[in-house]
């Protein structure tokens, strides 16, 4: 964090009680947020939670109905030019000219960011090379794949290196390979000293990239902490077990409930059981805990066909953090606004 | 980064590159207002280059209007084509440009719904640059459309008494007026954000202005109320001024002045409105 001393004492983002109302719908219902400089901050929430609205307010594109926010020390309402000069936004939907080529998109943005002709061309070439888009540089963006579009969109945000980069759901809709490419880029951008505020619907993504995570639901922050802190509240993951013999399920349920101290869920499949595994308080790793449980199953002569330990899904995380699931309520909410 | 330049693993090489790139990209200068406007103008030109269909309105409308109205109304006016084109062509030029202006508004309404528009709006450049850049490319379109009208007229036998200077002056006046309309449709486009609605609104305004004017007939035979409308219709004044300039007739100073005043008034009302709508935060 060598940047910190140079860049002053302001946090990258300081938001207090942000409210945004669309008709009857409180899109943001009192958001408080502090993001330190140099951090990758994860903003995790289901569709309609208010992630994009928050980013648009912080990037000075939308005005909050009430509340205050300072970005890089500047007020989002009265000092928007100072903010705009130093932040970049990669929106949820690619912000590129579809008719223009990748190269032309970057040249235009370079000019608009004050790069001279030669410097802009050099910058465009360098970015295209670094983002592995040189081969596609001369083709209209309309023909790009989702992953290429995302990469170009992020490259466009780096035409002039921002002090703060907003990435709104950068991997939604990408295939796994493109997703890991984007993850790698985000890590590199953060390493180079740019603060990143990243929104996502995937717990795994926030876990992989963000040092600090805020969970947002219905326009409110319902939980905040490091990935480890949230996991200790959510649980490490879900254990799925499939048995060889369905008759042994009651016995397996009893053993697992005792070994892992939780409620075992009986799936519709008569051979399957699952349970949310709590993160051990004493620092024992989850693998060891699950391993012990498996040994106990073997000792009880329960035949196991398959075992899997998965990350908790966003739904499971929400259930654990808020006591309700994320999906349907969010959709109801959107219907109200329509 | 400690990775040496000779590292060949692609991932490491890439990390190295992005690191250097980000470090090198920290200096920032704000793009000047004119440079930014020119860049937006260039963007519009690049869009035309990649999708020439965008020029269809600027080509089809002048051809259609010139040929159609010349043969439709030309017969009603006595004399050779060369004679009645002297009356008709400047009006057809005026009407063609006026109609072409509304398609720019429709394109803008399309543009504002894209993510690219948000990216531009979030830039720290002069907020008028986007609008002015659009006007620059509109000016190019209107000049192009004017050239088609004049060229077709010449082919059909039109010989302007005002010569090249007269024609150029008339084209400049018509294009300037067109640009003020362009600002009006830009305001409408930013307000309604729907190309079809922009076209509808523009049609409702432009159709009566075009036909209830002196473009196709001298108002002497019209009922009084219509004459009154024709007399205050800015398109009549622009057409009269263009006619005067192209035929080098005396006494057109009044209509030229009226045209310039109309242009200035529409611009003075619409330019601030457009700018405000452009930088409006939802
Ligand atoms: N421009 C708008 N007009 C009306 N409602 C909106 C607008 N933008 C967002 N909303 C509503 O605000 C809520 C939050 O939306 P958003 O911030 O886009 O959520 P997220 O990005 O987390 O999916 C949703 O219910 C959405 O329908
Ligand atoms: Mg969103």
Rounded CA separation A214/A206 (Å): 9
pLDDT at B10 over 70: no
Helix-helix angle B253-278:B234-247, to 10 degrees: 130
Q: Which of residues 70-129 of B touch A (CB under 8 A)?
A: 114-116, 118-125, 129
- What pLDDT does residue B139 have? 96
Query: Is residue B233 situated within a structural domain?
Result: yes
- What pLDDT does residue B12 have? 46
Q: Whose CA is nearest to atom 13 of ligand 1?
A: A27
Closest of A84, A103, A117 to residue A156, by C-alpha:
A103
Rounded CA separation B19/A188 (Å): 7
ipTM higher than the 0.95 cut: no
Chain B interface includes A60 (CB < 8 A)? yes
Q: For a pocket test of ligand 1, which of A19, A29, A51, A52 has the largest count of ligand atoms closer than 8 A to its C-beta? A: A52
Full residue range of the structural domain in which residue B76 is found: 31-280
Out of A54-58, A99-103, B79-83, B154-158, which region has the weakest mean confidence (pLDDT)? B79-83
Closest of A330, A332, A14, A50 to residue A215, by C-alpha:
A50
Residue range A173-177: average pLDDT?
Answer: 88
Residue range B168-194: average pLDDT?
Answer: 96
Q: For a pocket test of ligand 1, which of A19, A27, A326 has the largest count of ligand atoms closer than 8 A to its C-beta? A: A27
Q: Whose CA is nearest to atom 27 of ligand 1?
A: A334
Query: Is residue B265 situated within a structural domain?
Result: yes
The sign of the dihedral angle between the CA atoms of B12, B13, B18, B24 is positive
Identity of the residue in B23, B122, B282 whose CB atom sits nearest the CB atom of A89: B122
Looking at per-residue confidence, does B27 or A92 come out higher? Answer: A92
**Mind telling me how many Å the CA of B190 is from chain A's nearest CA?**
15
Residue range B181-197: average pLDDT?
Answer: 95
Q: Is the CB of A231 under 6 A from ligand 1?
A: no
How many percent of chain A have pLDDT more than 70? 88
- What pLDDT does residue B22 have? 80
Identity of the residue in A100, A132, A188 whose CB atom sits nearest the CB atom of B47: A100
Chain B interface includes A307 (CB < 8 A)? no
The per-residue pLDDT for range A24-39, each reduced to its tens digit, is 999 999 999 999 999 9
pLDDT at A235 over 80: no
- What pLDDT does residue B231 have? 87
- Mean pLDDT of all residues belonging to chain B: 87
The per-residue pLDDT for range B12-40, each reduced to its tens digit, is 455 557 777 787 777 667 788 999 999 99
Out of A223-232, A280-289, A300-309, which region has the weakest mean confidence (pLDDT)? A280-289
What stretch(es) of chain A map to CATH 3.40.50.300?
Answer: 13-232
**Structural contact between residues A164 and A86, judged by C-beta atoms closer than 8 angstroms:** yes
The per-residue pLDDT for range B198-211, each reduced to its tens digit, is 999 999 999 999 98
Identity of the residue in B118, B124, B125 whose CB atom sits nearest the CB atom of A95: B118
- pLDDT-derived band at A6 (thresholds 50, 70, 90) equals very low
The per-residue pLDDT for range B219-259, each reduced to its tens digit, is 888 888 888 888 889 999 999 999 999 998 877 888 999 99
Looking at per-residue confidence, does A311 or B37 come out higher? Answer: B37
**Structural contact between residues B68 and B98, judged by C-beta atoms closer than 8 angstroms:** no
**Structural contact between residues A176 and A208, judged by C-beta atoms closer than 8 angstroms:** no
Closest of B62, B88, B28, B52 to residue B215, by C-alpha:
B88
Closest atom of ligand 1 relative to the A333 alpha carbon: 25
**Structural contact between residues B215 and B235, judged by C-beta atoms closer than 8 angstroms:** yes
User: Which residues are CB-contacts of B164 (< 8 A; sequence separation ≥ 6)?
Assistant: none
Q: Whose CA is nearest to atom 2 of ligand 1?
A: A22
Identity of the residue in A91, A99, A140 whose CB atom sits nearest the CB atom of B115: A91
Enter the pTM of the model. Answer: 0.81
The verdict on domain A13-232 having CATH code 3.40.50.300 is yes
Identify which ligand lies nearest to the alpha carbon of A172: 2
The sign of the dihedral angle between the CA atoms of B272, B278, B281, B282 is positive
The per-residue pLDDT for range B255-274, each reduced to its tens digit, is 999 999 999 999 999 999 99
Rounded CA separation A129/B154 (Å): 52
Residue range B155-167: average pLDDT?
Answer: 91
**Structural contact between residues A302 and A241, judged by C-beta atoms closer than 8 angstroms:** no
Q: Is the CB of A314 under 6 A from ligand 1?
A: no
Domains identified in chain B, total number: 1
**Class of A236-311 in CATH:** alpha beta
Phi, psi of B253, deg, nearest 5: -50, -40
pLDDT at A284 over 90: no
- What pLDDT does residue A233 have? 73
Looking at per-residue confidence, does A158 or A325 come out higher? Answer: A158
Cβ contact (<8 Å) for B47 and A191?
Answer: no
pLDDT at A220 over 90: yes
Query: Is residue B218 situated within a structural domain?
Result: yes
* Per-position DSSP letters for B188-254, written without gaps between them: HHHHH--HHHHHHHHHHHHHHHHHSSSSSS-GGGS-HHHHHHHHH-HHHHHHHHHHHHHHT-S--HH
Contacts of B125 in chain A (CB under 8 A): 112
- pLDDT-derived band at A5 (thresholds 50, 70, 90) equals very low
What's the number of CA atoms in the CB half-sphere (13 Å) around residue A260?
36
Residue range B108-137: average pLDDT?
Answer: 89
- pLDDT-derived band at B184 (thresholds 50, 70, 90) equals very high
User: Which residues are CB-contacts of B99 (< 8 A; sequence separation ≥ 6)?
Assistant: B61, B65, B206, B210
Query: Is residue B13 situated within a structural domain?
Result: no
What stretch(es) of chain A map to CATH 3.30.70.120?
Answer: 236-311
Structure-block tokens of residue A87? 């932040």
Query: Is residue B158 situated within a structural domain?
Result: yes
Chain B interface includes A194 (CB < 8 A)? yes
């Amino acid at each position: 964090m060598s940047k910190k001393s140079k860049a002053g004492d302001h946090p990258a983002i300081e938001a207090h009680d942000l409210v945004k109302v669309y008709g009857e719908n409180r899109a943001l219902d009192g958001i408080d947020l502090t993001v330190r400089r140099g951090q990758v901050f994860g903003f995790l929430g289901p569709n309609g939670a208010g992630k994009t609205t928050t980013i648009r307010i912080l990037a000075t594109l939308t005005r909050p109905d009430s509340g205050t926010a300072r970005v890089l020390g500047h007020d989002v309402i009265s000092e928007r030019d100072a903010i705009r000069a130093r932040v970049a936004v990669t929106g949820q939907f690619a912000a590129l000219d579809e008719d223009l080529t990748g190269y032309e998109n970057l040249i235009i943005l370079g000019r608009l960011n004050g790069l001279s002709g030669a410097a802009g061309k050099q910058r465009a070439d360098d970015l295209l090379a670094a983002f592995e888009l040189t081969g596609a540089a001369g083709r209209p963006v309309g023909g790009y794949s989702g992953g290429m579009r995302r990469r170009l969109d992020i490259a466009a945000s780096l035409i002039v290196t921002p002090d703060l980069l907003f990435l709104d759901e950068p991997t939604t809709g990408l295939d796994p390979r493109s997703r890991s490419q984007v993850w790698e880029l985000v890590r590199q951008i953060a390493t180079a000293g740019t603060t990143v505020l990243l929104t996502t619907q995937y717990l795994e993504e926030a876990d992989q990239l963000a040092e600090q995570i805020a969970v947002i639901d219905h326009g409110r922050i319902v939980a905040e902490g490091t990935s480890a802190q949230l996991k200790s509240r959510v649980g490490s993951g879900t254990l799925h077990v499939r048995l060889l013999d369905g008759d042994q399920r009651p016995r397996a349920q009893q053993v697992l409930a005792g070994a892992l101290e939780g409620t075992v869920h009986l799936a519709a499949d008569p051979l399957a059981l699952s349970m949310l595994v709590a993160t051990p308080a004493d620092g024992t790793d989850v693998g060891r805990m699950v391993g012990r449980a498996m040994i106990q199953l073997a000792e009880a002569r329960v035949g196991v066909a398959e075992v899997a330990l998965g990350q908790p899904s966003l739904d499971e995380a929400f259930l654990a953090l808020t006591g309700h699931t994320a999906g349907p309520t969010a959709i109801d909410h959107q219907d109200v606004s329509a | 980064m400690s990775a040496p330049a000779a590292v060949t693993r692609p991932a490491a090489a890439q990390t190295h590159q992005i690191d250097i790139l980000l470090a090198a990209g920290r200096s920032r200068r704000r793009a000047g207002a004119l440079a930014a406007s020119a860049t937006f103008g260039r963007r519009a030109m690049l869009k035309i280059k990649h999708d020439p269909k965008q020029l269809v309105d600027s080509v089809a409308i002048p051809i259609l209007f010139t040929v159609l109205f010349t043969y439709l109304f030309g017969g009603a006016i006595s004399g050779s084509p060369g004679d009645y084109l002297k009356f008709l062509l400047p009006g057809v030029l005026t009407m063609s440009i006026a109609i072409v202006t509304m398609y720019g508004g429709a394109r803008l309404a399309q543009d504002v719904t894209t993510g690219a528009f948000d990216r531009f709006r979030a830039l720290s450049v002069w907020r008028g640059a986007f609008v002015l850049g659009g006007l620059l490319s509109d000016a190019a379109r209107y000049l192009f459309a004017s050239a088609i009208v004049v060229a077709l007229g010449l082919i059909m036998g039109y010989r302007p008494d005002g010569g090249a200077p007269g024609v150029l002056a008339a084209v400049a006046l018509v294009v300037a007026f067109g640009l003020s309309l362009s600002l009006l449709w830009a305001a409408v486009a930013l307000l309604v954000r729907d190309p079809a609605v922009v076209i509808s609104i523009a049609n409702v305004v432009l159709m009566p202005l075009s036909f209830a004017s002196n473009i196709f007939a001298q108002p002497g035979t019209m009922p009084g109320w219509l004459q009154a409308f024709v007399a205050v219709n800015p398109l009549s004044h622009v057409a009269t001024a263009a006619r005067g300039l192209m035929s080098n007739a005396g006494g057109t100073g009044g209509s030229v002045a009226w045209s310039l005043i109309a242009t200035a008034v529409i611009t003075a009302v619409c330019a601030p409105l457009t700018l405000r709508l452009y930088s409006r935060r939802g």
